[in-house]
């Protein structure tokens, strides 16, 4: 399907503006030409039968690790964006724990040059908050802002209060978003899974919930003081949910995300395998339930994968020795649809809000499923159950806690600016 042809997505359940309805979506070139109950079919149109399927604006992932430049053995922009398209994502925001770190225009250009050359979906890079993510000197927010999605030291919490205050003041002055990885290093004590029942039973060192929520507590105070737009990455604890809920009620400019694994798993699901190790860790059932409640009531704004690929060898050393991080781009939609929507926990419309509409709104990305918008669209088949098999992933990473799960919700077609980024020929009718 090339962008010069009209594409008619026929008869799908269309999601737009918090509602869903049956309609045809007509794509002409790189734009959506119309969303209409019944589109006229013209000679030369490429028609995709979407009856019984979902048609949404392409999913947006605010938190992925594409590992390039610097760590291409784990992932590349080419493989990571292919995985994104496979998962129905048309835009991803790439975290800055790279070599070199994107803490200057010169270093950022090394990353964007690869993006321009290799990406099959839209990639918006993060800049760091501090030079080399070392927490000692803030970056030039004004110089970097036009070229990045937001600012984050992801993988490293900013430990010094005065440094985070200076960063938030700079972000507020330039109307930028601080996207914070919240972790108090002095409270980690060498932990690597949740400090809960599984760790105690199996002799593992635990990561306390306080190591996360204590820094969120600090940052809320600083965000209120500065007026900074503050986004909390991958929250995992019940205390974090409560703090963010209260901050929103108080008028703090705060948003947050959590991941599919935190919403669907707890530490009782852990196994002695590296594919269950990530940071923050999978926590208790009470934490999972609080996160679900937060996704239901609007406290949690976004579901993001924290897609964090590593080599097979790095993930082969069990819970204690494996690298932190699991992949998620190719399973996120199916996990959330199967475990939350099919279970009646959230509505289909709420799912699309969390995965496509809210990320666009919060990060001012534009787009959506409406006439005149860029044709960034995903089509999903919901009927056929499948087994998660990492061998089918397009990512270099294969480490997923969802391996072997039986799920519904496969991507049929992903369009980026009207061009085919992913197509499942076996499912196209």
Nearest alpha-carbon partner for 231 in 256, 258, 213? 256
pLDDT of residue 2: 45
- Each residue of 120-155: pLDDT tens digit? 999 999 999 999 999 999 999 999 999 999 999 998
pLDDT of residue 334: 98
For the question of residue 306 being annotated catalytic, the response is: yes
Distance between CA 278 and CA 283 in Å, rounded? 11
pLDDT of residue 426: 87
* 8 Å CB contact between 35 and 354: no
Catalytic residue among 61, 301, 306, 381: 306
pLDDT of residue 201: 97
pLDDT of residue 3: 42
Distance between CA 129 and CA 145 in Å, rounded? 11
pLDDT of residue 428: 86
Terminal Cα-to-Cα distance of the chain (whole angstroms): 14
From first to last of its 429 residues, the chain has per-residue pLDDT tens of 444 579 999 999 999 999 999 999 999 999 999 999 999 999 999 999 999 999 999 999 999 999 999 999 999 999 999 999 999 999 999 999 999 999 999 999 999 999 999 999 999 999 999 999 999 999 999 999 999 999 999 989 999 999 999 999 999 999 999 999 999 999 999 999 999 999 999 999 999 999 999 999 999 999 999 999 999 999 999 999 999 999 999 999 999 999 999 999 999 999 999 999 999 999 999 999 999 999 999 999 999 999 999 999 999 999 999 999 999 999 999 999 999 999 999 999 999 999 999 999 999 999 999 999 999 999 999 999 999 999 999 999 999 999 999 999 999 999 999 999 999 998 888
Measured from the Cβ of residue 357, the count of other Cβ atoms closer than 10 Å reads: 24
pLDDT of residue 101: 98
Q: At what angle do helices 238-249 and 210-226 cross, to 10 degrees?
A: 10
What does pTM read for this prediction? 0.97
CA atoms within 13 A on the CB side of 425: 1
φ/ψ of residue 91, rounded to 5: -140, 135
Distance between CA 147 and CA 19 in Å, rounded? 32
pLDDT of residue 19: 97
Two tokens, residue 187? 């409270």
Q: List domains and CATH numbers for the chain.
A: 6-55+373-395+402-423 (2.30.40.10), 58-362 (3.20.20.140)
Q: Helix, strand or coil for residue 187?
A: helix
φ/ψ of residue 160, rounded to 5: -85, 125
- Each residue of 53-94: pLDDT tens digit? 999 999 999 999 999 999 999 999 999 999 999 999 999 999
Residues 6+ apart with CB under 8 A from 218: 161, 164
């Amino acid at each position: 399907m090339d962008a010069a042809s009209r594409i008619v997505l026929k008869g799908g359940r269309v999601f737009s503006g918090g509602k869903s309805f049956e309609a045809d979506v007509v794509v002409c070139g790189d734009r959506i030409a119309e969303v209409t109950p019944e589109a006229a079919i013209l000679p030369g149109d490429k028609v995709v039968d979407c009856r019984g399927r979902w048609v949404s604006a392409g999913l947006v992932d605010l938190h992925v690790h594409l590992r390039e430049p610097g760590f291409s053995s784990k992932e590349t922009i080419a493989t990571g964006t292919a995985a994104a398209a496979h998962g129905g994502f048309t835009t991803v925001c790439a975290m800055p724990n790279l070599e070199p770190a994107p803490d200057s225009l010169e270093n950022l250009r090394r990353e964007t040059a690869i993006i321009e050359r290799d990406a099959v979906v839209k990639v918006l890079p993060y800049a760091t908050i501090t030079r080399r993510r070392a927490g000692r000197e803030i970056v030039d927010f004004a110089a970097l802002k036009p070229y990045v999605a937001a600012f984050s030291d992801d993988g490293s919490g900013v430990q010094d209060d005065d440094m985070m205050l200076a960063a938030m003041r700079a972000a507020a002055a330039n109307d930028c978003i601080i996207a914070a990885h919240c972790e108090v290093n002095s409270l980690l004590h060498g932990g690597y899974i949740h400090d809960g029942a599984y760790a105690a039973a199996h002799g593992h060192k635990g990561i306390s919930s306080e190591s996360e929520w204590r820094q969120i507590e600090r940052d809320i105070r600083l965000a209120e003081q500065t007026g900074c737009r503050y986004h909390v990455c991958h929250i995992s604890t019940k205390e974090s949910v409560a703090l963010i809920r209260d901050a929103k009620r108080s008028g703090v400019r705060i948003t947050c995300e959590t991941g599919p694994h935190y919403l669907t798993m707890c530490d009782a699901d852990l196994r002695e395998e590296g594919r269950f190790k990530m940071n923050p860790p999978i926590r208790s059932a009470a934490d999972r339930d609080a996160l679900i409640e937060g996704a239901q009531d609007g406290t949690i704004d976004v579901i993001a994968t924290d897609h964090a690929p590593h080599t097979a060898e790095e993930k082969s050393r069990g819970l204690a020795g494996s690298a932190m991080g699991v992949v998620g781009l190719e399973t996120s939609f199916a996990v959330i649809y199967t475990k939350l929507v099919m279970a009646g926990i959230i509505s289909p419309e709420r799912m699309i809000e969390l995965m496509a509409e809210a990320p666009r709104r919060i990060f001012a990305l534009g787009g959506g499923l409406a006439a005149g918008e860029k044709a960034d669209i995903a089509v999903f088949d919901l009927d056929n159950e499948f087994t998660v098999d990492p061998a089918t992933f397009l990512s270099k990473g294969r480490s997923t806690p969802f391996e072997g799960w039986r799920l519904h919700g496969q991507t049929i077609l992903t369009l980026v600016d009207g061009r085919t980024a992913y197509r499942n020929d076996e499912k196209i009718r």
